[in-house]
Amino acid sequence: MAIDQIAFRHAMTQFGSGVTIPVTVDGAGQPRGFTANSFCSVAMDPPLVLVCLAHGAESYPAFRDAQRYAIHVLSADQGPVALRFAEKRADKFEDEQWSTGEDGLPELRGALARVSCEAHAVYDGGDHAILVGRVVEAKVDETDGQPLLYFRRKFLDAAA
Ligand SMILES: Cc1cc2nc3c(=O)[nH]c(=O)nc-3n(C[C@H](O)[C@H](O)[C@H](O)COP(=O)(O)O)c2cc1C
């Protein structure tokens, strides 16, 4: 018996998570990124993480083909940038919060952590692709900031 999509979505909203922004650069040199909460660590040896990306996302071809990408773990005050990257828009990176990291990929100021990855594998995940990245660099903002959390379709501030 197949569960209906509304019941499935509703159950998934009960799972609280952090929020991330994976970024890469496409074949034309344009920065690409999207908001994701499907991020998790996979393995220690080698150090692997994963994030799932919808085939219908504007940034899907760039991530499917990418050799490198970086994933930012957002801090409590980064709800606005999470909303911006959850929309299909051309001006996502036109903001002073962005610079270029040592890996040549966009870097978001104020994120709690940033992992820079080499593409390890892309697996079939139905209407999503499961992107598995091998972490080659990990940076943490050691100012003890609080995370941006997502629960029941809302952003929550852990400090509130
Ligand atoms: C909190 C939150 C988490 C999200 N997580 C994911 C995710 O893990 N995978 C995904 O494909 N889309 C996710 N989305 C939706 C994408 O961010 C959205 O479809 C966005 O438009 C993709 O950008 P693009 O179309 O420019 O690539 C999430 C949205 C929000 C608000």
Domain layout of the chain by residue ranges = 18-86+110-144
Q: E strand or H helix at 22, and its extent?
A: strand 20-25
What is the mean predicted confidence (pLDDT) over 61-73? 98
Q: Which residues, including other chains, have CB under 8 Å from residue 14's CB and lie 6 or more apart?
A: 151, 152
pLDDT class of 76 with cuts at 50, 70, 90:
very high
The reply to whether ligand 1 has any atom less than 6 angstroms from the CB of 37 is yes
Task: Say what the pLDDT of residue 157 is.
Answer: 67
Compute the distance from residue 73 Cα to the ligand 1 centre, in Å: 14
For ligand 1, the distance from its centroid to the CA atom of residue 34, given in whole angstroms, is: 6
Q: Using CA atoms, how far apart are residues 41 and 47, in angstroms rounded to an integer? A: 8
CA distance 86 to 92: 10
Mean pLDDT throughout 42-63?
98
What pLDDT is stored for residue 47 in this prediction?
98
Q: Is 36 in the pocket of ligand 1 (CB under 6 A)?
A: yes
- SS3 for 9? helix
| Residue 120 neighbours by CB under 8 Å, 6+ apart | 46, 48, 132, 133, 134
Res 2: pLDDT: 81
CA–CA distance, 84 with 108 (Å, rounded to integer): 13
Asked whether the beta carbons of 24 and 33 are under 8 A apart, the reply is yes
* Mean pLDDT over the full length of the chain: 96
Per-residue pLDDT, averaged over 103-111, amounts to 97
Q: For 85-113, what is the mean pLDDT?
A: 96
Q: Quick one: pLDDT band at residue 158, thresholds 50, 70, 90?
A: low
For the segment(s) 18-86+110-144, the CATH number from 1.10.150.20, 2.30.110.10, 2.30.30.100, 2.60.40.10 is 2.30.110.10
Q: Is the CB of 119 under 6 A from ligand 1?
A: no
Count of other CB atoms within 10 angstroms of residue 121: 12
Phi, psi torsion values for 151, nearest 5 degrees: -155, 130
Please give the distance, rounded to the nearest whole angstrom, from the Cα atom of residue 23 to the centre of ligand 1: 12
User: Prior bond to 147 cis, omega within 30?
Assistant: no
Tell whether the model's pLDDT for residue 116 goes beyond 80.
Answer: yes
Report the range of poorest mean pLDDT among 12-21, 33-42, 139-148. 139-148
